[in-house]
A and B are shown apart, each in its own frame.
Chain A
């Protein structure tokens, strides 16, 4: 199972928005609404930010939003803040009892 494709990096100034794409196939992202997004700060464990494509867990700011179109899922971070600087990974169910993560995107707040 190949990793989902994410851009290596994305950046924006404080207050701006950044959108990260996560491209898979009809066998994973396109076939299921089980896409989640994780934020990981250096040296820390991942933290879920979005689940089931667009749902936010309690405590996650509404500045974080998710969507999906075809085989590509997206995470948008609005109103960028310094603490949003981190690595972000998408994740999808890939059928046949497999999960697949994205390649990861480093978000830099300029």
Chain B
């Protein structure tokens, strides 16, 4: 069974940093692009970032470009998101998700999703 398990969320002050992890199992991790999607409390889904299977190509939403860095360690079957210069509006549940279709993540749909990890940015 394919599974994704996020960790690393928590409470951080504005301007602070946090690193999220997403541990994958049940599939050949390096063969699939991955993405992070977030959901602010009571709000809708927002795509945040994507990365190719090799890790060579990375993509970001304008709202996080220059502050967040997506990466992956295929030897550890783990996806990461380094979040710097955090703002109150970054408060959300962060989900990692596997792009089902091979190749470019943008042409794909996502399955499965992790259970999410909550990031709260507040003073």
Q: A101 to B110, alpha carbons, bound, how many Å?
A: 12
Q: Would you call A48 and B61 a contact (CB within 8 A)? A: no
Number of interface residues of B (CB under 8 A): 25
Q: Contacts A1-B61, A36-B109 given: A101-B45 contact, CB under 8 Å?
A: yes
- Is there a chain B Cβ closer than 8 Å to A104's Cβ? yes
Q: What is the minimal beta-carbon distance from A19 to any residue of chain B, in angstroms?
A: 19
Q: What is the minimal beta-carbon distance from A68 to any residue of chain B, in angstroms?
A: 15
Number of interface residues of A (CB under 8 A): 25
Q: What is the minimal beta-carbon distance from A109 to any residue of chain B, in angstroms?
A: 21
Q: What is the minimal beta-carbon distance from B49 to any residue of chain A, in angstroms?
A: 10
Q: Would you call A99 and B47 a contact (CB within 8 A)? A: yes
Q: Would you call A1 and B106 a contact (CB within 8 A)? A: no
Q: Would you call B45 and A89 a contact (CB within 8 A)? A: yes
- Is there a chain A Cβ closer than 8 Å to B53's Cβ? no
Q: What is the minimal beta-carbon distance from B2 to any residue of chain A, in angstroms?
A: 12
Q: Which residue among A52, A91, A97, A101 has the maximum number of chain B CB atoms within 10 Å of its CB?
A: A97
Q: Within residues 75 to 110 of chain A, which ones have a CB less than 8 A from any CB in chain B?
A: 89, 91, 93, 97-104
Q: Would you call A48 and B106 a contact (CB within 8 A)? A: no
Q: A99 to B104, alpha carbons, bound, how many Å?
A: 12
Residues of A within 8 A of B35 (CB): 99
Q: Could you jot down 30 A-B contacts, CB within 8 Å?
A: A32-B107, A34-B108, A36-B110, A38-B45, A40-B45, A45-B95, A45-B114, A46-B95, A46-B113, A47-B111, A48-B100, A48-B111, A51-B109, A57-B109, A57-B111, A91-B109, A97-B59, A97-B106, A98-B47, A98-B61, A99-B47, A99-B105, A99-B106, A100-B47, A101-B44, A101-B45, A101-B46, A102-B44, A103-B44, A104-B44
Residues of B at the A interface (CB closer than 8 Å) are 35, 37, 44-47, 50, 59, 61-62, 95, 97, 100, 105-116
Q: Which 9 pairs, one residue from A and one from B, show the smallest C-beta to C-beta distance? A: A51-B109, A45-B113, A99-B47, A36-B109, A104-B44, A97-B59, A101-B45, A93-B106, A48-B111
